Structures are given as C-alpha cells and as structure tokens.
Amino acid sequence: MSLGAPTWGLYVLFVWSLIWNGFALWHAAKNNQRNWFVVMLVIHTAGILEIAYLFFFAKKKMKFQDLMFWKR
C-alpha cells in the first residue's frame, strides 16, 4: 500500500535520518549534553533537529570541513 510517496524515497529518508541521528547522538553523549541526547532520541525530525544541534547548539560546533573526513 502506497501513500503517494515512492518506496525508495522512504528508504532514502530513513537512511538519511538514521545517519544524522546516530552522529548527533554520539556527539551529544561525548560532550555530556544529556538533555540534547534525550530530545534527539525521542523526537525524530528526519535529521533537521540533529543538523541544527551539530552546527548551531553543540558545545563544540561542527564545521562543514568536519564532514569531509576523506580529505584528511
């Protein structure tokens, strides 16, 4: 049963969200930011909240260069 979205699109959204959620949860745990960890664990926003946390609200904010690990 389809809700109008292609099945592959839902898989892509799931993988996208899973990657950002895992990365942000790991970052929050590493920086002892328990409140952010709990919020991101409970509320799933397809990576939007996680990206906002990593680039704007984390104790040690990420930069775009941090994502390009293959250039190190």
Confidence of residue 5 (pLDDT cuts 50, 70, 90): low
Confidence of residue 32 (pLDDT cuts 50, 70, 90): very high
Q: What is the CB neighbour count within 10 angstroms for residue 21?
A: 18
C-alpha radius of gyration, the chain, whole number: 14
pLDDT digits (tens, 9 = 90+) for 40-58: 888 877 778 888 888 888 8
Cβ contact 19:27 at 8 Å: no
Mean pLDDT of the chain: 79
Confidence of residue 64 (pLDDT cuts 50, 70, 90): low
Token representation of residue 68: 């390009």
Q: Is the pTM of this model over 0.95?
A: no
